[in-house]
Chains A and B, each alone.
Chain A
Amino acid sequence: MLQIIALSFLFRYNKFHQAAFSNVSAEITGRINAKYNGIEYYFSLKSTNDALVKENEKLNQLLKSSYEAPGLLNKLMTDTVMIDSLKKIQKYVYREAKVVASSVASQTNYLTIHRGSSQDIKPNMGVISPSGIVGTVVSTSPNFAIVMSMLHRQYTVVVKLKNGGERGKVEWDGVDPSFVTLRDIPKSAKMNTGDSIVTSETSSLFPPGILVGTVNEIVDDKSSNFYVVRLKTATNFYNVQYVYVIDNTQFEEQKKLEDSTRKKFQ
């Protein structure tokens, strides 16, 4: 009798495979994982350091002081006008986070990061690594957050070709953790192996232009007007140690508007 109850309970449970977890369990497993990562971390210090140095180099390239205007007459000056119409509003806020647990072997891979709701991490925030995108936050506890990795069978992200700008979507077929599949790129698009695929403006989770992967193999699907492209992921999911959680400050506003519009025309 009890086993029947147990099994029926489980079947009911199974429907919530991807559902949010109770705070307590995420907190406990997060703590254990953080302890373990404290040891494991030493083994990947070198590659983590390399990744961070590379990123520093990239950011240094963007510094104002690295640029000089040609000629002596039009030297770059700081604008002293008080009301600045060119002043921009920060739309994306980056928060660094340490990865304490991750998996690549399963069909549904997640990462646990050491930042939670106390540090203003909310579900539906994009997560990137120094080299490319990683995934999306799905649930949080006070000090930890669970990130659905790009290597998850239900994960999709809107991307575009860096050269042409044609949009498509990326998903994972569950075969190899180093490769993902890009779909919905029309055959009119010009594409070569090695081309960069970056996040699109229409993805509200990520800022545009963040590297997703590079084209590895283009499959010409005869039955449709779209290419199926095999992408090499930009992020190395085997040894990702530090990530940035991206807070789109206008996400709520955009989502509310889109939802209300959808409701209006239903």
Chain B
Amino acid sequence: MSELLKNIIRFVLFIFVQVFILFKVPPLHRFIIPYLYFLYVLWLPFNMPRPWLTFIGFIFGLTLDYFTHTPGLHAAACTLIAYVRPFIINMLISQEGSDKNYASPSAISMGWAPYATYVLILTLLHHSYLVFLEWMNFGSFLFFIGKVIGTTAISLLLILLTELLFFRKERFRTNTA
């Protein structure tokens, strides 16, 4: 399957899973809202130029926004992580240049520890920004801190589960192939 088709299917799938499964789960607590959809942005290929990455992040966030009736909220957070993503990858990736050898970020292509750091930083960034925008409208500081920690914890759990359930095989790309 081509990389483009795979990502288009993922786009639809992530939106639907977020809107029709995760947002339908009865809330345990107001701080714990299961977010998974932004994993799409984390899974985009390495070789995508930054303007495209930012643009796709924006469109992806906006699509979700139309379902939740919050125009710009998720779009802003997604654009931010899509923009920051290349910096983080450059910082975390080893000298051998796995961004040239593999298609997209995963535990295999980057190694478990750098990949976990990559996910943690971007998740935290996404939620902080999202809750910050929400917090500017209403809420207290406790709300901000509590919700960032709560949603980040549940998101990391969900991402771990997704990674284990849908194990992505990454092909090692060589010049001959």
- Show the binding face of A for B, using Cβ within 8 Å: 2-3, 6-7, 10-11, 13-14, 16-17, 19, 21, 25-26, 28-29, 33, 36, 40, 101, 103-108, 110, 146, 153-154, 174-177, 238
A106 touches B68 (CB 8 A): yes
Check B138–A3 contact: CB distance below 8 A: no
Please tell me which one of the listed residues A10, A13, A104 contacts residue B27 in the complex, with CB atoms under 8 A apart: A104
Contacts known (A6-B55, A6-B58, A7-B79); A17 close to B137, Cβ less than 8 A: yes
**Bound form: Cα–Cα A106–B68 in Å:** 9
Which 3 interchain pairs have the tightest Cβ spacing? A13-B72, A10-B76, A105-B27
Helix, strand, loop or mixed for chain B's interface?
Answer: helix
A106 contacts across to B, CB distance below 8 A: 23, 33, 68, 70
CB distance from B19 to the nearest CB of A (A): 8
B69 cross-chain contacts in A, Cβ below 8 A: 21, 108, 110, 146
Find the B residue at minimum CB distance from A19.
B71
13 A/B residue pairs, CB under 8 Å, sorted by A: A2-B55, A3-B50, A3-B79, A10-B58, A13-B71, A13-B72, A14-B76, A14-B133, A103-B23, A108-B70, A110-B68, A174-B30, A174-B138
Any chain A CB within 8 A of the CB of B156?
no
What DSSP secondary structure best describes chain A's contact surface? mixed
Closest to B57 in A: A6
Pairwise interchain contact A29-B66, C-beta atoms closer than 8 A: yes
- Contact indicator B137/A153 (Cβ below 8 Å): yes
Instruction: Tell whether, in the assembled complex, residue B27 and residue A177 are in contact, meaning their CB atoms are under 8 Å apart.
Output: yes
Q: Which residue of B lies closest to A33 (CB)?
A: B67
Instruction: Give A153 to B33 CA distance when docked, in angstroms.
Output: 17
Nearest residue (CB) in A for B53 is: A3
B54 interface neighbour in A2, A16, A25, A146, Cβ under 8 Å: A2
Also in contact, A13 and B75, with CB within 8 A (given A29-B67, A106-B68, A238-B26): yes
A6, B79: Cβ atoms closer than 8 Å? yes
Residues of chain B contacted by A105 (CB below 8 angstroms): 23, 25-27, 33
A104–B27 CA distance with the chains assembled, in angstroms: 8
**Contact status A174-B79, CB under 8 Å:** no
CA distance A6 to B79 in the complex (A): 8
Q: Which residues on B sit within 8 Å (CB–CB) of A177?
A: 27
Q: Give Cα A103 to B139, complex, Å.
A: 19
Contact of B139 among A13, A21, A174, A176 (CB under 8 A): A174
Bound together, the chains give a CA A7 to CA B51 distance in angstroms of 12
Please tell me which one of the listed residues B20, B30, B80 contacts residue A175 in the complex, with CB atoms under 8 A apart.
Answer: B30
> Are B73 and A17 touching (Cβ within 8 A)?
yes
Nearest neighbor of B15 in chain A, beta-carbon distance = A32
B115 contacts A by Cβ under 8 Å: no
Contact among A10, A16, A103, A108 for B75, CB-based, below 8 A: A10
The CA of A158 and the CA of B59, in the complex, are separated in Å by 39
Min distance, Cβ B145 to any Cβ of chain A, angstroms: 15
